[in-house]
Amino acid sequence: MTMTFAQASSAALPILLTSPEDCEDTLAGLPEAQAQWAAFHNFTGALGQSLVLPGDAMARVLIGTGTAADRARKRFAIGAAIAALPEATYALSALPAGQGEEIALGYLLSLYRFDRYRSQPRPKARLVAPDGIDADRLLLIAQSEALTRDLINTPAEDMGPDALEAAARALGAEFGADVRTVEGADLLKKNFPLIHTVGRAAAISPRLIEMTWGDTGPTLTLVGKGVCFDTGGLNLKPGASMGIMKKDMGGSANVLGLARMIMASGMAVRLRVLIPAVENNVAGNSFRPGDIFTARNGLTVEINNTDAEGRLVLADALAYASETPPDLLICMATLTGAARVAVGPDIAPFFTDDDPLALALSASSAAVADPCWRLPFHDAYEPMIEPGIADLDNAPAGGMAGAITAALFLRRFAPVPRFAHFDIYGWQRTNAPARPKGGVGQGIRALFNALPEVLSQ
């Protein structure tokens, strides 16, 4: 099944949604046989609880909406319960106020399967697009999220810098965007020294991927970390930490998913996407702890940990983006473990000095069930990223405020009026409603929803 809604049909089975508070009244309104069936099966309206009621042709389905607190803890559970129903076409007879889009999107996202390497059983329930929602918009969001998930889930053997470039080119071709790259030794010739440094030890050459689309409206530049696999370099990661490092290009996967949303919706914006695509590998020409390099913008960087490579490749890309200052510059990266310690795997922390942007993102995050949280560019920590021997330190000692110091490092390369950096995880650790274990989009639905307001400010 593709990620889509079913055509409206008179044969669609109605779905009744009910909360624990309203369950008694809902059951009282059913035919006696169906009410007895629900009582026999102890249907209480708990979140995600579903029950097919008997009738001439399975006359209707009950699904519990739980309490508001339940839904806050377990988003998309109602849509996931619909997707798990037996094969048939279903229609929601009524939608709870303010929940329609989340339910419908939860259904669509629950249809996702990563089946490149193994066939996966797919949901067979078909849902008619509920009244009162923008079905086309939800479809393009779900399809774009699927792109992000596919890119992250694909192992590095099949998703190296060259394959990431191919994915960007395929997306560009779909929507008429221009895609070009700077690769290998040309990175040095064209002054992208840090991208070259990080990727030079890998078998597949490093590159900067650039996509442009649109010729009217405000300018928006998206920069995504594209470290297709991260061994840690000479500061080699332990094996247990390397296991999911195929996801270290999650920033690039997320900006490509967001770019697809923007292009598919026809948003009036001049879009630019920059992806420094590398593998951080080990060889005789690996960069070393103690080395000092000069970035594109002229700042010198001392390498105190080769496993803090993401901020290096992003530095060149952000400096390049800032040479033609956009109206809004967004950076997304699976950057620090410190961000996970601070907010856990489910929340996308972001940094910005722009209060209206932060307020818009926070409101959008709540509106579309895409958790984001603002963390500070704390100026008092600036000395922590200044080693003395060079302008900047890529890995300050002490382990304190690691997400903030990484964000401060990136800000040195983004001297533009409006800048936000997202330090995402990009990975779902366990199965959850509409979010199977594996790659996941974080922050991009909130951004997509907020962009019209933000770009008009």
Active site residues: 237, 311
Q: Which stretches does DSSP call E strand in 139-206?
A: 178-183
CA distance 363 to 440: 21
Q: How many angstroms separate the Cα of 393 from the Cα of each of 292, 387, 400?
A: 9, 5, 14
Task: Indicate left, alpha or beta for 111 from its phi (over 0: left) and psi (-120 to 50: alpha).
Answer: alpha
CB atoms within 10 A of CB 236: 13
Tokens found for residue 148: 């992000």
- Nearest CA to 222 out of 264, 248, 253 is that of 253
Reduced to 3 states, what is the DSSP secondary structure of residue 100? helix
CA distance 248 to 334: 6
- Nearest CA to 425 out of 410, 440, 415, 436 is that of 440
377, 404 contact by CB (below 8 A): yes
Residue 110: its H or E element:
helix 100-110
CA distance between the termini of the chain: 41
